[in-house]
Chains A and B, each alone.
Chain A
Amino acid sequence: MDGFQSDADARATFDTLLSESNGHRAALTQAVLDHAAAGFIGLDADLNVVLCNRSAADMLGLTPPQLWQPVPLPQCLRESTRLNSVGQLAFEAALYPASKFYPDSGLSIVDRTLQLILLDGPSLHVIIHQVDANHCFVSLSVKATGDVPLERIDGLTGLSDRQWFRERLTTELTAPAQEDQVAVLLIDLDRFKAVNDSHGHPIGDALLQMVAQRLRSVVRDGDLVSRLGGDEFAVMMLGVSAPEAMGKRLVDLLSRPYLIEGHVPVIGASIGIAMGPRDGADTASLVRAADLALYQAKEDGRQSVRVFKQEMDTRARARHALLHDLRRALALQQFEVHYQPQTNLGSRQLVGFEALVRWRHPELGLIPPDRFIPLAEETGLIVGIGEWVLRKACLDAMSWPGQLSVAVNVSAKQLEDPNRLPRVVEAALTTSGLPATRLEIEITESALVRYEQQALQVLHALRAKGVRVSMDDFGTGYSSLSQLRSFPFDKLKIDRSFVRDLSNSDEAVAVIRAIAALGASLGMTTTAEGVETDEQEAMVRNDGCTDMQGYLVSRPVPAEDVSKLIRSLTSDLPTLQESI
């Protein structure tokens, strides 16, 4: 039964209760109160609970306090399983003016109301009535937040979920006479994973709860905050003209340090904004627009806010089109392998070539590797492309004189299945007839880090066949010495960025010297990449590198020009003629 139709009824009952110091009457009143759907708590001026019905205890997630044994409400609140610490604090703070501690605080307590969000989703509506100088009385009721059904509420943060966000957005977009703009702000936390990894999941979960509370603390009534999943949140705002200002405010707020269990995790946030119906008239296209803006925000560096612009869509479509063409490029034989010579710094002899893939697009012409390789890596297309390059390079190298080697790059993706690459290499060598010792596999540090165990297994299998293995772009990634110990590389390729900085950075000189010395002591060749000037050549030779590669000797050339290049390089260097 619902004992009271209104707070006024309840208050009258409580007044009666107080006026009658009759225990029998009090017990009866308690029994009546316990059947009420609304929650009631009576407090004295020390904020001790002198009365609490069952509903109030349920709503706060408390074990009902022993009747007539005064317990301070703040102490009860700390044990609440449904209010988080912020809610507890807000509740307490609202009550203080009613206590005897601050009689002159001047804060009004007349029917003070308070809305708190319970941890499991719904909101708690609190009304505090001052009964007399020494008593106050609190009535509680639970409401679903913004009419969000319980099954659409995220258990961790109490926010509504992705599905509810989409439903509400659809409602707003299809509402008749919708004149207002609907702003969608997609929020992605930066470095959240790192917090989870370094501090553990309980801290990560607490952080997500605090993020949710911070988001809720700034949005206006009527705005919708949802957790889309993981560390992704969304805000829907109606009738705003400048959502970017709100976006910036959210980024600032979410990026401020948090204090959780004594830890101070620092995260950031990136936000993408789209306005409906301007940027998308239906839910899917509006969310897609906001997503593109978010992608741009992340591209532009952390802590940024980007509003959707048409060119983001254009760029995304271009990328999509490129991907479409990339998927067919292998079958349509649009790839080429170009070769860049590698020479010995001491003898100036040509020692071999690095195979570099090029994509000749029928309409767009030669597409630079940095435009399609990341796309190919992302989609896994790199596996097929890499294997084609390997077979082509082995065949091409067979036509070169002497013992000239060919170096082929291997992507991290090609290591996912540790049995695959050794098999493909074996087949390429058998088909071409190239001796294994003339093939060199280049692998980047990051690929090694990503697939450490499989990678080592693959490298050992290749080495067992007699194939040489070099570490590419050394110095740019993790450069861990333990990696050098974990596998006996034949060669370290020093990243071009160090060579580029040689003339104006003492650090670059020091790094190159250190790598060269390391290589020498471990019996590895060291190749300086990106050598473009005589000065750089002199410096890397002087710093102890054994080989070099770069535009100074030659840019990468198409396969059919390699023989000509070999002839021109060897006519300069008579010693090479003798060696081949």
Chain B
Amino acid sequence: MTTDLFRLVYCSRNTIFADQCDPVAEIAKILAASRLNNARDGVTGALLYSDGCFAQVLEGGLDIVQRTFERIQRDTRHGDVIVLEARRTEARMFGMWDMALTEPADPIKAKAILGLALAEPNGDAGTTVVALLDGLVRREGDWANAA
């Protein structure tokens, strides 16, 4: 098993739950399952849901990120999956989080960034999305510390 640290960033669109069930409850379910798996596998990352789009960062060993991503790919609750970034990395950016769920601080900005990433996945989309999630996770960390 490789010990190389790998980071994968993708965006996708929610496909079913807007009309069929409560998105918040559904995301809570996704998150519970993903935290359970991730804690075991040493995967960290963050998930953002904003206006029908997901952005997720997965960090961990290449093998396990690969398996985790393949499992996510078979989930029919989302579609139009676009990989924004897939590369080896020196350090984790989301090392504190089994899978942080972030609320967009600025929903309009988040929507714009995800919309752009889905429409034009090349260029800086990966970096922009990681920065967005990183900013949101930090903000939540600050709140947690303040509390």
Contacts and interface: CB of A to CB of B under 8 A. Distances in A.
A213 B73 CA distance: 12
B8 A259 contact: yes
A420 interface: no
B52 interface: no
B16 to A, nearest CB: 12
Contacts of B1: 78
A253 B70 contact: no
Interface stretch (A171-179, A260-268, A364-372, A387-395): A260-268
Nearest to A85: B67
Interface in B70-113: 70-71, 73-74, 76, 79, 81-83, 86-88
Nearest to B1: A78
Given A78-B1, A101-B40, A256-B73, A86 B81 contact: no
A214 B79 contact: no
A453 to B, nearest CB: 36
Contact of B73 (A85, A93, A257, A261): A257
Contact of A262 (B71, B81, B86): B86
Contact of A253 (B10, B74, B88): B74
Interface string B46-82: 0000000000000000110111011101101001011
A261 B61 CA distance: 11
A85 B63 contact: yes
Contact of A257 (B37, B74, B83, B87): B83
B130 to A, nearest CB: 16
Contacts of B83: 257, 259, 264
B81 A257 contact: yes
B32 to A, nearest CB: 10
Contacts of B73: 214, 253, 256-258
Nearest to B78: A256
Nearest to A93: B37
Contact of B74 (A92, A214, A263): A214
Interface in A72-106: 78, 85-86, 88-89, 92-93, 96, 101-102, 105
A469 to B, nearest CB: 40
B70 A262 contact: no
Interface of B: 1, 6, 8, 10, 36-37, 40, 62-63, 65-67, 69-71, 73-74, 76, 79, 81-83, 86-88
29 contacts: A78-B1, A78-B63, A85-B66, A85-B67, A86-B67, A89-B67, A93-B37, A101-B40, A217-B74, A218-B74, A249-B76, A252-B79, A253-B76, A256-B73, A256-B79, A257-B10, A257-B73, A257-B81, A257-B82, A257-B83, A258-B73, A259-B8, A259-B65, A259-B66, A259-B69, A259-B70, A261-B66, A262-B88, A263-B86
Q: Report, nearest first, the 8 A-B pairs whose CB atoms are least far apart.
A: A257-B83, A256-B81, A259-B69, A264-B86, A264-B83, A256-B73, A259-B66, A89-B67
